[in-house]
Structure 1
């Protein structure tokens, strides 16, 4: 009797079944009870309801208010409730749930053929989520660490150059993180919360001051004679090395990202990537031009002073690229 009644479990299970479901009297084990219940119309309705839920299941990233643990639990339960046991069918349902989010959809699709079980599916997607959390998104807060010195690109709102533009200074400061080294990063002409790619045109806005990282052009009237003069266009020079000054209130602010160690690489910009930053000048000596000089952001050992304080200079230059032109971009907070 124990063999068939499972120590009383069978009677307990039968007592929990809704009375509207009529059970044959000859049921004497749990397997037979399960098979009978599966043939009932209510089970068919149950499966169809869950299949509709499966078909409408949508993944919501955690940064948009989603909960990955709840999503995985729901997905797993829907597989069970709809008797979707084949891993290929499970993968198709999972991929469909990612359809509104191109990054997750694409990355999961790339590795689908290597997934052979539910555990592997969950592990693979969790790795994709972890990788996505390191992607720098439009509106994120970042820091730029100078690779050669380990010092952060910094600006102080109320501290200005005493030469050149006399705008807010930019320099490489402490090797320890400082709030003055926080910058918002934006894609120019992009959408807020878009992923940022290499080759993107971007701008950096200082988190504390709200001013933007850039360079500054100005016009100057040059007189050749009593009756002849001409307007020339120039850029303010850095205080010590006579390169192009970099400040935190420039009138040219559009930077381009390149991977310094992977030529022609195109992909998502991620935390701890090593990059070069360049800016294309909008003017030459004669005026506005489409073929302006491209210069790169550099910090070096040259210093300048303001009062009794000494700062490590940051400039733009058009010389050959070197290790002083490499910056490590660190994600402080994803948008």
Structure 2
């Protein structure tokens, strides 16, 4: 820098003095008295220096902090601190750096006060309650920040109502898909077939998780294992459908309408059991169980009439062929 900026009351006094001293040392000025004299020359006339003078940088810092502009800086920083919110698209490290800077600038230095502000900064009530319970007994802000980081990473991976997902068949590695063209089956003229096609995810492999027929869920709410959902094909806006009486004959389909036959129970799968409790997360192995007759979505290497991998609804979910891996798109 060619010359240090003038202090006009809009900067943090400590930061400004640190930068000024850095400038002086960079220019070969090491004498404290000389640096102090130069610093006072760079202070705006609206912030007068007392007639008796100032004898140290600590005294100059206190003088700048006594001015009304610094009081207003703290008030503005405190308002921003109260309103700051973490967004799941933000970089956690950048957010924490800004948060701690606002704490410093607003003189919120007590750990308990900082904890309260960070709790309020959580993106929603779910993450707020989880984070609050985890830090209840913590007295170290370092630990609190680590827990915040881990909680937000977990929060970011949760599958929610409104999430765009893809479903990869675990055994064959192909994605649950549906084309744009309807090919009526012998049972219903308004149904078209779903299938697995391709090991690389495409636009026809994207599904949106919505509330089940007859239920009211807020977009953004996380989905727990054993929740009832609908899967809506993003391109065609048709819902994954299963006929209660004809599942074994008709395979799996999509339909333009929604009714109880478009409701599915989503269950997390583990190596020990297929009803693993907790929130459904990105990367989880899941089962999709039809709500009416409790049979599960299944695929295998057999081909349908169009040459795609067949998808049917059959069995109780005990076989590997019933497993799907959920991939979060947004």
* 2:289 is the alignment partner of 1:278: yes
Distance in 2, Cα, partners of 1:173 & 1:137: 25
**Alignment partner for residue 160 of structure 1, among 171, 180, 183?**
183
Alignment partner of 1:83: what SS?
Answer: coil
**Alignment partner for residue 190 of structure 1, among 217, 233, 251?**
217
* 2:163 is the alignment partner of 1:136: no
User: Which residue of the partner structure matches residue 257 of structure 1?
Assistant: 266
**Alignment partner for residue 214 of structure 1, among 211, 228, 241?**
241
**CA offset digits 1:39-69 (Å, max 9, x no partner):** 5566555545544544x32315255xx7867
User: Which residue of the partner structure matches residue 289 of structure 1?
Assistant: none
User: Which residue of the partner structure matches residue 223 of structure 1?
Assistant: none
Stretch moving more, 271-280 or 187-196: 187-196
Distance in 1, Cα, partners of 2:127 & 2:165: 23
**Alignment partner for residue 114 of structure 2, among 90, 97, 115?**
90
* 2:316 is the alignment partner of 1:310: no
**Alignment partner for residue 248 of structure 1, among 238, 250, 254?**
254
Tell me: CA distance 1:14–1:49, structure 2 relative to 1, closer, same or farther (3 Å): farther
* 2:34 is the alignment partner of 1:34: no
Displacement, 1:142? 1.0
CA contact (8 A) 2:158 2:281 kept: yes
Displacement, 1:122? 4.8
Displacement, 1:316? 1.4
Displacement, 1:29? 1.0
Displacement, 1:299? 1.2
Gaps of 5+ in 1: 218-233, 239-243, 282-292
TM-score (norm 2): 0.75
Distance in 1, Cα, partners of 2:153 & 2:231: 25
User: Which residue of the partner structure matches residue 76 of structure 1?
Assistant: 100
Task: Give the number of equivalent residue pairs.
Answer: 292
* 2:299 is the alignment partner of 1:299: yes
Distance in 1, Cα, partners of 2:240 & 2:230: 7
Gaps of 5+ in 2: 1-28
User: Which residue of the partner structure matches residue 169 of structure 1?
Assistant: 193
CA contact (8 A) 1:10 1:30 kept: no
Displacement, 1:327? 0.8
* 2:98 is the alignment partner of 1:58: no
Displacement, 1:28? 1.3
User: Which residue of the partner structure matches residue 324 of structure 1?
Assistant: 321
Distance in 2, Cα, partners of 1:208 & 1:160: 16
User: Which residue of the partner structure matches residue 225 of structure 1?
Assistant: none
Tell me: CA distance 1:237–1:75, structure 2 relative to 1, closer, same or farther (3 Å): closer
Return the structure number with greater helix share. 2
Alignment partner of 1:248: what SS?
Answer: strand
Tell me: CA distance 1:246–1:3, structure 2 relative to 1, closer, same or farther (3 Å): same
* 2:279 is the alignment partner of 1:268: yes
Distance in 1, Cα, partners of 2:291 & 2:178: 22
Return the structure number with greater strand share. 1
